Amino acid sequence: MTNLYRSRRRRNVIVLSLSIGATLIGLGWLAAILGTLVWEGVSGLSLKVFTQMTPPPGSDGGLLNPIVGSLMLTALAILVGTPIGILAGTYMAEYGRYAKLTMVVRFINDILLSAPSIVVGLFVYEVMVAPMGHFSGYAGAVALALLVIPVVVRTTEDMLVLVPKELREAASALGMPRSRVIQRVSYQAARAGMITGVLLAVARISGETAPLLFTALNNQFFSTNLNAPIASLPVIIFQFALSPYHDWQRLAWIGALIITMAVLALSIVARALASARTATG
C-alpha cells in the first residue's frame, strides 16, 4: 500500500463518516422536534380540548373555536383554490402543452410555490381587508386559496402529462369531444395524483400562520361568521405561545401537536397515494 493510496482511503472514510453523521443529525432533529411535541402536548390532550373554547388567562379551557375556524378556513380555501388550480393545470397539460403561455405560467407558478406567504397576506390585506374596512374570515380563506393554487396547478399538470396519449386518441377516435375526453378519460386516469395534490395543498395551508395574521386576524370567542374575524389554530398558537401565561403556553403546545399530526398524516397519505399510482401505472 502506497502512501497515496492510504491517504485516499483515509479521506474517503472521513467523508463517509461525516455523511453518516449528517444523516443521523438530520434524523435526530426530526425525532427531537416530534418528541418534544408529543412530550409537551399529549399530557394535556383530552376531550376538553375539542369541546371547550379558548380560556381567558388563568382558567381552564380548550381549543374548540380555533379548531372550527381552521377547518372552515381550510375548507373554503380548498373549495376556491382547487377548481382554479385544476383548470389551469388542465390547460397547461392538455390544450397548450407547448404554448408559450404554458411556459410562462409554469415558471411563474413555480416561483409562487415558494414565494413568502406573508406577502400574500399583505396583498389580501390591500385588496380585501382595507376596502372592506374590517378583518374577516373570507379574507383569510382567500389568502390561503392563493397558496393552494400553485400546489394544485403543479401536481395537476404533472399528473396529466403522465397520462398516455393513446388513451386520449382512442377516446377521440370514438368521436368524443375534446372537453369530454379530458373530463372522462384524462381526469379518471390521473385521479389519484390529482387527489394527492389537493391533500398536499391542505397540508400546506393548515399550518400557515403568516397570511392569516392580518386577514382573518383572531377571535377569542366562538364564531362561525366568516364575515368577521375568526380564530384559527396557527394564530392561536402564535398568540398563546408568546404570552406569559402558563395555561396558554400549554394550550399552544397541544395545538401544535394537533396541527403537526394532522399535517404529517396528510402528507403520508398523499405520498402513499402517489406511490400506489406509480406502482400500478
Partner 1 sequence: MAVQDRQLAQPLSTARLKVLARLRGGDVAFRHVTRAAAVSVLLILGGVILSLIQGAIPALRTFGLNFFIQESWNPVTERFGAVAPIYGTLVTSLIAILIAVPFGLLITLFLTELSPIWLRRPIGIAIELLAGIPSIIYGIWGLFVFAPFLQAHIQPILIDFFSCVPVLSWFVGGCVAVPGLSQLFAGPPYGIGMLTAGLILAIMVLPFVTSISRDVFEAVPAVLREAAYGMGCTTWEVVRYVVLPYSRVGVIGGVMLALGRALGETMAVTFVIGNAHRVAVSLLAPGTTISATIANEFTEAIGDLYTSSLIALGLILFMITFLVLAVARYMLLRIERRIG
Contact between 12 and partner 1 per CB under 8 A: yes
Contact between 43 and partner 1 per CB under 8 A: no
Contact between 208 and partner 1 per CB under 8 A: yes
Amino acid residing at 66: P
Contact between 138 and partner 1 per CB under 8 A: no
Residue with smaller CB distance to partner 1, 183 or 227: 183
Residues 244-273 that bind partner 1 (CB under 8 A): 249, 252-253, 256, 259-260, 263-264, 267, 271
Residues 75-114 that bind partner 1 (CB under 8 A): 83-85, 87-88, 90-92, 94-96, 101-102, 104-105, 107-112, 114
Say if residues 147 and 208 touch (Cβ distance below 8 Å).
Answer: yes
Angle among Cα 137, 112, 232 to the nearest 5 degrees reads 25
Contact between 226 and partner 1 per CB under 8 A: no
Contact between 142 and partner 1 per CB under 8 A: no
| 45, 122, 161, 269: residue in contact with partner 1 (rule CB under 8 A) | 122
Contact between 42 and partner 1 per CB under 8 A: no
Side-chain-facing half-sphere of 148: CA atoms under 13 Å? 30
Task: Please give the Cα distance from 85 to 148 (Å, whole number).
Answer: 8
| 46, 179, 224, 278: residue in contact with partner 1 (rule CB under 8 A) | 179
Contact stretch for partner 1 (CB under 8 A) within 33-41, 57-65, 70-78, 162-170? 33-41
Judged by CB under 8 A, how many residues of this single chain contact partner 1?
A: 88
Angle among Cα 73, 79, 84 to the nearest 5 degrees reads 125
Task: Please give the Cα distance from 59 to 54 (Å, whole number).
Answer: 9
Residues 6 or more apart whose CB falls under 8 angstroms from that of 141 comprise 72, 73, 76, 77, 80, 216, 226
Contact between 127 and partner 1 per CB under 8 A: yes
Say if residues 197 and 152 touch (Cβ distance below 8 Å).
Answer: yes
